[in-house]
Amino acid sequence: MHDIGKVLHADELTGPGQQHEQDGPRLLIDWGIAPQFARFAQTHGSWRTDSDLEIEDLLVALADTCWKGTRDHVLEQRLTECVTSATAGDPWTVFIALDDSIEAITVNADMRLAWQARFSVG
């Protein structure tokens, strides 16, 4: 759902662009999705510049990144800090758990991306 704006910007399915992030939340809200959930359609792409995000926003951004088999250490560090703060946990314990999860997701990225490419438009 975070990329729903791509229905209006199909060129962003296979190429760069952020217009889908601007239009996605409005589509979701118009379809009855609560704003607190529709926001993910925008925040998954603005986590670098938006300092006032919830853990959930960072998780959606991380899931979007990992789906493609990419690691972003800045994002991972920011999420580690948020989880550590929210749980009063040990930063290294939080990071190791996060790292294990990320590795499990990224390992099959090539297969997922190949499957996804079969449905590209154009």
Check residue 100 and report its DSSP letter.
H
| pTM for the model | 0.82
Q: In this structure, what token pair is assigned to residue 7?
A: 């229905």
What torsion do the CA atoms of 98, 104, 66, 5 make, to the nearest 10 degrees?
A: -110
Report d(CA 2, CA 100) in Å as an integer.
Answer: 24
pLDDT digits (tens, 9 = 90+) for 72-93: 999 999 999 999 999 999 999 9
Angle between helix 109-117 and 55-67 (nearest 10): 80
Report d(CA 20, CA 17) in Å as an integer.
Answer: 7
pLDDT digits (tens, 9 = 90+) for 22-69: 999 999 999 999 999 999 999 988 889 988 899 999 999 999 999 889
